[in-house]
Amino acid sequence: MSADDSERAGGRASYRVSEDPEEARVEGRRLALLGELRDRRSAATLEALGIEDGWRCLDVGSGGGSLARWMAERVRPYGSVVATDVDLRFQREGRDNLEVRRHDIVHDALPENEFHLVHARAVLQTIEQREAVLDKLVRALRPGGWLVVSDPEWSAFERQPLPEAFRALYDAMMDAAAHAHGYDRHWPVRIPAAFRARGLVDIDCRGDSHAMHGGTDSAEWLILAYERSAPGLVRAGFLDQRTVDEGLRAARKRDFLAMGPVSVCCWGRKP
């Protein structure tokens, strides 16, 4: 990383999962759900961009690693994948062409002009230094390589009717995450322009959403994130326990039904 990057990289740390076994269990389940809900769509996008045997791929903030394992299968026998994350507790063994690396995308160096594909899903939104990180991701691409970034956009979610207790929890969680980590719930609408500013071409994006039914996996991917991070945010004084308890209860009722956030996926190619 250049001295310039280090300077720009200052700022709040992205979220971390503590050593508490219960917190880790909840995060493991949440990451597995995220993979189940999103991998098919992500894989379809990568297929449309031409992923094939021989590609060298990077999956940043790989979480449970299910998509990185799919990529490794897809690009074998001659291609390979590097899956990075600050926390490797949720990764499983993969194929021999998959390297899982502990790596902080804000502070650690990446090779340059190396990858046919750099992918980051549900990561940049949680990182305050996302603009500097994007610079680094573009440098990591080889000419002709694709950058694929996806994150949820929350504007439509906020405009729908929601149970009062859950809305209070949602508002408090968003404020707390923005304060604590620089989380930006509307970052996805800026991704295409951020790609163009870095000289990427053939830029396009798509968004999709799905219904969230209370007490099922379709809602738990979000509710588990709240359950995991609530104790720390309550201790830090960002939230009160009553808001957490009532909000979680409301979202786990069988009759809870909401449209999920729009998952926006953007891609662009390094000329």
Ligand X SMILES: C[S@@+](CC[C@H](N)C(=O)[O-])C[C@H]1O[C@@H](n2cnc3c(N)ncnc32)[C@H](O)[C@@H]1O
**3-state secondary structure (DSSP) of residue 59:** strand
Considering beta carbons, is residue 122 or 262 the nearer one to ligand X? Answer: 122
Segment near ligand X (CB under 6 A), from 100-108, 158-166, 248-256, 259-267?
100-108
* 77 upstream amide cis, omega within 30 of 0: yes
Taking the complex as a whole, how short is the minimal distance between the CB of residue 182 and ligand X, in angstroms? 11
Please name the residues in contact with 231: beta carbons below 8 A apart, sequence gap of 6 or more.
Answer: 23
Q: Indicate the burial class of 87 (C-beta count within 10 angstroms; 0-12, 13-18, 19 or more).
A: middle
Considering beta carbons, is residue 181 or 270 the nearer one to ligand X? Answer: 181
Please tell me whether residue 33 binds ligand X under the rule CB under 6 A. no
Q: Which of 49, 63, 162, 165 binds ligand X (CB under 6 A)?
A: 63
Give CA separation, 158 vs 22, 96, 174, in Å.
30, 43, 11
**Binding string, 113-142, against ligand X, x = CB under 6 A?**
--------xxx--xx---------------
State the Cα–Cα distance between residues 267 and 149, nearest whole angstrom: 6
Beta pairing, strands 257-259 & 211-213 = antiparallel
Q: Which of 5, 87, 217, 246 binds ligand X (CB under 6 A)?
A: 87
State the Cα–Cα distance between residues 125 and 143, nearest whole angstrom: 26
**Which residue, judged by CB position, is nearest to ligand X in the bound state?**
63
Considering beta carbons, is residue 63 or 214 the nearer one to ligand X? Answer: 63
Q: Which residue ranges make up the site for ligand X (CB under 6 A)?
A: 14, 31, 34-35, 61-64, 84-87, 104-106, 121-123, 126-127
